[in-house]
Chains A and B, each alone.
Chain A
């Protein structure tokens, strides 16, 4: 096991830990083990030969910090330009809170909700205090790096401009914000666990993760555009609702100590920034035992599942699947994709993006020209934005959190595994693509009128064709047969190339709109090609063993 730099740094505070009655050497060992594990990925059974060469251990989280550092550069102007401390710092803290909270939920849920620890650590002669201290420090180490990555650059820039007091206030503020977030997350989990069982909690976490990743992606888009509107000279007018916006609490001390204003509101805000996190910790400590007890719910699934009969799906299965085998596999893939949380987590965000992207482009257009101009334009081609999710989703089809179950394909008396692949693709189109496409189509018909219906149909057929091309081009192993942990290694460049292909399709479509009856003819041509391509693909590429 490596001797981690972080832990060496932690050694400096040994005395402090010991004064709280924590067995420091034991805590350090637990942390060393945790950090070692964080840097490793579990090997896959199917890929063992391929990955014989040992890669140096790397911590995926630390690597991902680069993204945040990049983002933080955009935060510098928020801090440096303008003289309204309250406003600027509230925005900064708002962004920090949002990003840390997201990361907390998506990356640390497994730390907060770990139940393995209980069986392994609590059966050993290790005090509860030491175990929970190790847990807390483990999370804190990551929060430290995360916060430093996000807020580092703006704070340094701010310090140069506003002086050392700014640095001091920022550091205190960031520590308090982190405390607040950790406790807040834990309290939210506590309440969910109290009223729901483990499966529900996992579902809720899953949807929160999906929601947050969509909003981050959309947020980036909007943030860039929003800057032009922001008037840095907004004056501060205190009102009661601001008490409920935590970033304002944390922004207030800056205005109070550095700015020219000082009034009662600012003092109260600043006090809230100090008192609420401290209070939260006290509450958290009180709740910890019953939180741990409720954690046990994660292992048991009380409440029988409900079985939903879905007529239309049955009917659809009959229509689009030819052989019996394919029908069986269609139902199977359908169940897998709907129930698998990890799959949803990996694919649904891009679904959300597909839903939003066309409008982001169009808002841009409205800003530049007018709504009337938009309606008469060819912006309905923005519907191609819904195809953006296809390459990502097609690559994800081969992964599953329970990939080890894939032995069933080999032992079952199925002649060829080709129907499995085509069934999975059909499920993808029906379950994931179609809803997005239909929602967008309805909105587009609302905006552009019924005259665009042929064009929308063209987009749909193109999407199916595009799915075939992607699955051919990004072809992997059998669906649901590899671990998601390998997903990061799959080529991002390939996906990028596949995305470029959409641009080609848009170009062709754009061109045919200038020919009389061009769209209809193009539609028929595409239909023929797609049917042919599907059959061809069925024969050749999907018949691998």
Chain B
């Protein structure tokens, strides 16, 4: 039996914002090559977890290890092997794609030429070679998202954090990107995929973690979850586990109000 390499390890992770407890003890071990679907309702603590893993948030209790290194404010070396697509498309959009991507590449320790050449080729694959020297501010939402995706992969990371990475992409690009993820995972990259679109999570992840109110409430492959919860789709499992079952009533109320005029 092959000993699976541990990429990420959380032990009793807790975090407060003032008096509000956002994470109430998360325990999680992630192995190499997994695609983790990290889901949960708004405010459950998904983004907070990712922020802690990226070293954006300090002041937590518990142990956080990535590639066997403990995540602290001083330790920045592990970030070299991480790629990140944030939920909100935050980038310096006054720069051109060339300027932004080479800048990010250089921050990850690549030299300018390599980063430039690689970025240009990746842009070409996404069909954006003409706008490589235009400012990102003039891009459409999908194009910005593609730039973010390229910037997260430019340095060939081993661990990827993707927060709603498909937002704004058209159906064809979504297919390309899903395939990219599958190939990356097959080559041993680990992917932490966070999204609200359950169908996609259901299809691409080989392990799903559902977090609700700061705690992990479900952990396993889609089939395992299905067997445990007797529900047909991930969406239904999600509704059941987060205790939400009034969607029909709410929808009816909504439409009734719309029709009042």
Contact = CB atoms under 8 A, between A and B. Distances in A.
B107 A126 contact: yes
A123 B78 CA distance: 10
B73 A128 contact: yes
B11 interface: no
Given A122-B55, A125-B76, A37 B92 contact: yes
Interface string A114-143: 001011111111111000000000000000
Interface stretch (B80-88, B198-206, B222-230): B80-88
Instruction: Assign chain A's interface to a size class.
Output: 20 to 34
A36 B54 CA distance: 27
B215 interface: no
B108 interface: yes
Contacts of A26: 106-107
A449 interface: no
A36 B259 CA distance: 52
Interface string B80-101: 1010101010111111000100
Nearest to B53: A123
A43 B137 CA distance: 7
B243 interface: no
A216 interface: no
Contacts of A123: 54-56, 79, 82, 84, 86
Contacts of A70: none
Nearest to B137: A42
B90 to A, nearest CB: 5
A119 B90 contact: yes
Interface in A283-315: 289, 293
Interface in B183-207: none
A33 interface: yes
Contacts of A29: 103, 106-107
B138 interface: yes
- For the residues of B in contact with A, the DSSP-based class is loop
B107 A124 contact: yes
A111 to B, nearest CB: 13
A125 B94 contact: no
Contacts of B88: 119
A29 B92 CA distance: 14
B86 A36 contact: no
Contacts of B91: 120
Given A122-B54, A123-B56, A125-B107, A116 B90 contact: yes
Contacts of B76: 125-127
Nearest to B81: A125
B90 A120 contact: yes
Contact of A121 (B80, B95, B107, B137): B107
A161 interface: no
B216 to A, nearest CB: 24
Nearest to A39: B94
B44 to A, nearest CB: 16
Contacts of A373: none
A42 B86 contact: no
Contacts of A128: 73
A41 B91 CA distance: 15
A118 B56 contact: yes
Contacts of B107: 26, 29-30, 121, 124-126
Contacts of B131: none
Nearest to A41: B94
A226 interface: no
A50 interface: no
Contacts of B93: 42
A1 interface: yes
Contact of A119 (B56, B77, B103, B138): B56
B103 A33 contact: yes
Interface string A18-57: 0000000010011001001100111100001000000000
B135 interface: yes
Interface string B48-80: 000000111011000000000000010011111
B109 interface: yes
Given A43-B135, A118-B56, A120-B90, A37 B104 contact: no
Given A33-B99, A37-B94, A125 B137 contact: no
B138 A43 contact: yes
A125 B77 contact: yes
Nearest to A289: B58
Q: Which of A30, A42, A123 has the most CB of B within 10 A?
A: A123
A530 B82 CA distance: 67
Contacts of A293: 59
Contacts of B59: 293
Nearest to A127: B76
A124 B79 contact: yes
Contacts of B56: 118-119, 122-123
B86 A124 contact: no
A118 B106 CA distance: 17
A28 to B, nearest CB: 10
A125 B80 contact: yes
B95 A36 contact: yes
Contacts of B103: 29, 33
A42 B94 contact: yes
Contacts of B73: 128
A40 B135 contact: yes
Contact of B108 (A42, A120, A125, A289): A125
Contact of A124 (B58, B90, B108, B137): B108
Given A43-B137, A43-B138, A125-B76, A120 B92 contact: yes
Contacts of B90: 116, 119-120
Contacts of A41: 94
A289 B58 CA distance: 10
A26 B111 CA distance: 11
A126 B109 CA distance: 10
Q: Which of B76, B91, B93, B104 has the most CB of A within 10 A?
A: B76
A33 B92 contact: yes
A26 B78 CA distance: 17
Q: Which of A41, A42, A43, A120 has the most CB of B within 10 A?
A: A120
B164 to A, nearest CB: 14
A118 B223 CA distance: 38
A1 B106 contact: no
B99 A1 contact: yes
A139 to B, nearest CB: 17
A196 to B, nearest CB: 14
Interface of B: 54-56, 58-59, 73, 76-80, 82, 84, 86, 88, 90-95, 99, 103-104, 106-109, 135, 137-138
| List of 3 A-B pairs having minimum Cβ-Cβ separation, nearest first | A125-B79, A124-B107, A37-B94
13 contacts: A29-B106, A33-B103, A36-B99, A42-B93, A116-B90, A118-B56, A123-B79, A123-B86, A124-B79, A124-B107, A125-B76, A289-B58, A293-B59
Given A26-B106, A43-B137, 7 more contacts: A1-B99, A42-B137, A116-B90, A119-B56, A124-B108, A125-B80, A125-B107
